[in-house]
Amino acid sequence: MGFVNILIIALIVFILIVLIRCICIVPQAHVYVVEQLGTFKCEWTTGPHLLIPFFQRVSSKVSLKERVADFKPQQVITKDNVTMQIDTVVFFQVTDAKRYTYGVENPMLAMENLTATTLRNIIGELELDATLTSRDTINTKITAILDEETDRWGIKVIRVELKDILPPREIQDSMEKQMKAERERREKILQAEGEKKAQVLVAEAEKEAKILRAEADKQSEILKAEAEKEAMILRADAVREQKIREASGEAQAIELVQQAMADSLVKLNSANPNEAVLQLKALEAFAKAADGKSTKIIIPSEIQGIAGLAAGIKAVAETSAE
């Protein structure tokens, strides 16, 4: 009985192990391809599944995540017979697990060779300079061709990038010399342009300074002219005021003299002067007229001679003495 019990226990353990192994859990973003008796049965997606022992088996476990394939550098020849090495990186994703499993024996090797041949065909149509400056164009062409060719393998090529382009050493040296010459040329051009701009700025500054100086001189002359004009106006006003005052003074003096003469005549008339006094006044008036600047003197008819004048003066003196 002991042996039978051990056998039963061993059988139960074996059945449990088989049952546990028959339970299959598919993780996220994965697909299991299941075969039954050597032929394709179905595809298991995420979740638990039960595998029939001895009749079914998981043929392949396919990841649906986006992958990166970094292939080794490939030697290619350009249109102008320059040999170079190009390192490519392919980003792809499996979209059909069945085609990926049964479409090609080694999908990664097949895609690497397909990438190499496609790259050689595209680079063979381009010259060296175009190859170095047309990465985006090359990437687009390779991506389109690979995506179309790998569709039957259940692969979706998302993009292809040229990671590195390595021309021969002598070509690199020549390109470095060319780039150095180009940089020196650009440096000289930049220096020339800088000097030109500096000279232009200096000329503009001098022009602005001359304009400002001319404006300042003009403003100064205007202010000076206005000041002189104001001074002349003030001087003219002063001269006019002086003349007005002088004329007013002379008019007042004349008026006073005339008033004095009028007063003297009034007093003379009121005193009832005799003939001698009148002759004396006439003589005084003649003396004043003679003191003037006139070159011609008209002697009144009443003054006929020196004797008459003397007699008149003497009479006036005697009368005054009395």
Together in a domain, 282 and 249: no
Eight-class DSSP state of 126: S
Together in a domain, 264 and 211: yes
d(CA 133, CA 139): 12
* Residue 191, in any domain of the structure: no
Report whether pLDDT(30) > 50: yes
Half-sphere exposure of 189 (CA within 13 A, CB side): 6
SS3 of 42-62: the string is EEECCEEEECCCCCEEEEEEE
d(CA 187, CA 80): 31
Domain boundary among 257, 272, 287: 272
* Residue 185, in any domain of the structure: no
Together in a domain, 70 and 139: yes
Report whether pLDDT(2) > 70: no
Together in a domain, 16 and 79: no
Give the DSSP H/E element, type plus range, for residue 35: strand 30-36
Instruction: Tell me the C-alpha to C-alpha distance, in Å, between residue 282 and each of 13, 287, 289, 303.
Output: 184, 9, 10, 9
Q: Is the dihedral of CA 21, 22, 26, 30 positive or negative?
A: positive
Together in a domain, 129 and 217: no
Together in a domain, 53 and 72: no
CB atoms within 10 A of CB 259: 11
* Residue 102, in any domain of the structure: yes
Confidence band for 306, pLDDT divided at 50, 70 and 90: very low
- The contacts of residue 128 (CB under 8 Å, 6+ apart) are 78, 80, 82, 84, 167, 171
Confidence band for 317, pLDDT divided at 50, 70 and 90: very low
Tokens 């051009």 locate to 189
Eight-class DSSP state of 292: S
Together in a domain, 70 and 115: yes
Domain boundary among 63, 88, 107: 63
Two tokens at 272? Answer: 């009832």
CB atoms within 10 A of CB 62: 20
Q: Which domain holds residue 268?
A: 196-272
Together in a domain, 261 and 306: no
* Residue 254, in any domain of the structure: yes
Helix axes 306-321, 275-290, angle to 10 degrees: 120
Domain boundary among 272, 291, 309: 272
d(CA 60, CA 42): 11
Report whether pLDDT(175) > 90: no
d(CA 126, CA 82): 10
Report whether pLDDT(315) > 90: no
Strands ordered across the beta sheet of 56-63: 39-44, 30-36, 56-63
Report the pLDDT value the prediction gives residue 310, as an integer from 0 to 100.
47
* Residue 11, in any domain of the structure: yes
Flag the least confident range among 19-33, 67-81, 169-183, 195-209.
Answer: 169-183
Together in a domain, 223 and 240: yes
Report the pLDDT value the prediction gives residue 307, as an integer from 0 to 100.
43
Together in a domain, 267 and 220: yes
* Residue 317, in any domain of the structure: yes
Report the pLDDT value the prediction gives residue 147, as an integer from 0 to 100.
92
Two tokens at 98? Answer: 């069945």
Report the pLDDT value the prediction gives residue 272, as an integer from 0 to 100.
61
Report the pLDDT value the prediction gives residue 154, as an integer from 0 to 100.
92
- The contacts of residue 58 (CB under 8 Å, 6+ apart) are 24, 32, 33, 34, 35, 44, 51
* Residue 176, in any domain of the structure: no
Together in a domain, 76 and 109: yes
Two tokens at 16? Answer: 């449990």
- The contacts of residue 51 (CB under 8 Å, 6+ apart) are 21, 22, 23, 24, 34, 57, 58
The enclosing domain of 93 has a CATH number of 3.30.479.30
Q: How confident is the prediction for the chain on average, in pLDDT?
A: 81
d(CA 248, CA 203): 66
Together in a domain, 70 and 53: no
Average pLDDT over residues 171-182: 80
* Residue 175, in any domain of the structure: no
Question: What are the tens digits of pLDDT across the range 247-285?
Answer: 888 878 787 877 877 777 667 667 665 565 556 666 665
Question: What are the tens digits of pLDDT across the range 142-151?
Answer: 999 999 999 9
Tally the domains of the chain: 4
